Structure 1
Amino acid sequence: MSEYLRLRAVPAPALRNSPTWLERLFASTAGTALPQAGRHCEDALDKCRPDQECVYAGASPHGPDVVLGGRPVFRADRHAPPLLVLTAARTRGVAGFLTTADFDELWDTARETLLPRYGGESAETEARRVFAEAHRELTAFYAHTAEHGDAVVKWPAEA
């Protein structure tokens, strides 16, 4: 899997709308990142297939825009992709969607789009396994984050 999206859980009251503050969340390792922000400030998922959004494309209203997106916070370097923020309420919505989503149904909807990019039908078992693993990681991250009432900050890979 290629580096695509880094996610960090942040206690909702500690969340800032400052790009500098948000960037600092990712500047240090889990467990040492802004301890004043609270005990749940941690890296939860640092790799995700860029095509993972295809798995959620037909899953409105909590499809790829929310699972992998969020409200943009523009950085000082306008050429860098914006950081993305989900409030605690939006995080709970995504967690609810992911924990009840049927991955088999999501895969069936996305497979025709994804398989040509990942080796065709002969490679379906491996491609499905990789996407299912990313789905499980996202589900675990969002469920844990929502359980603690945290918000989510995302750092998309730079193009």
Structure 2
Amino acid sequence: MSAYLRLRAVPPPALRNSSTWLERLFEGDSETVRRYRDQERIYTGARPHPPAQNRPQTQVVLGGRPVFRADRHRPPLLVLTAAQVRRVSRYLARADFDALWDFARDALLPRYGGVREEPGTWRAFAVAHQELTAFYTRTAECGDAVVKWVPEE
């Protein structure tokens, strides 16, 4: 699975359980939208040191409560509560990126030019990891929830 992930921090009192309202969060606001292709492979299934409780790594990219759209053939939007955001933030702050990379590299390298391109591929995923960590850290500090959109490819 490959995904372009778009994220938006939202104060919990402002959240609505409406896919139309949630989709509008992403209109014309490119500064708060991030796109991460294949980043879910870094976090799913790996057990970085130290191991995290409640496996928040599965929520970093693709986790959250689904808010289904009127067109059920489109993927749902996902919402992480402020408490879940704090857990993900703590996980990312403690995660050993090199351990995560070692777990995912064999699945990722063939998609990005193989072993010859590993330094550049590693760097791109490390930067994305840093961006996600910074996003979740800021969002947790503000006590906000996160809305995710994994657009159709």
Q: Counterpart of 2:23 in structure 1: which amino acid?
A: E
Q: Within 5 Å, which residues of 2 pair with 1:133-148?
A: 133-148=127-142
Comparing 126-135 with 21-30, which one deviates more in the overlay? 21-30
TM-score, structure 2 normalization: 0.87
Q: Within 5 Å, which residues of 2 pair with 1:58-97?
A: 58-59=46-47, 61-63=55-57, 65-69=58-62, 70-97=64-91
2:21 maps to what in 1?
A: 21
DSSP 3-state at the match of 1:138: helix
Residue pair 1:3, 1:46 contacting (<8 A) in 2 also: no
Q: Counterpart of 2:119 in structure 1: which amino acid?
A: T
Percent identical residues: 62
- Alpha-carbon distance, 1:77 to partner: 1.6
Q: May I ask how many residue pairs the two structures share in their alignment?
A: 144
Indicate the RMSD between aligned Cα atoms, in angstroms: 1.8
DSSP 3-state at the match of 2:86: helix
Give deviations 1:110-143, integer Å, cap 9, x for gaps.
1122112211111100110111111011111000
1:102 maps to what in 2?
A: 96
Give deviations 1:60-83, integer Å, cap 9, x for gaps.
6012x3001211100112121110
Q: Counterpart of 1:82 in structure 2: which amino acid?
A: P
DSSP 3-state at the match of 1:9: strand
TM-score, structure 1 normalization: 0.84
Corresponding position: 1:53 with 2:40: yes
In 2, Cα distance between the equivalents of 1:156 and 1:124?
26
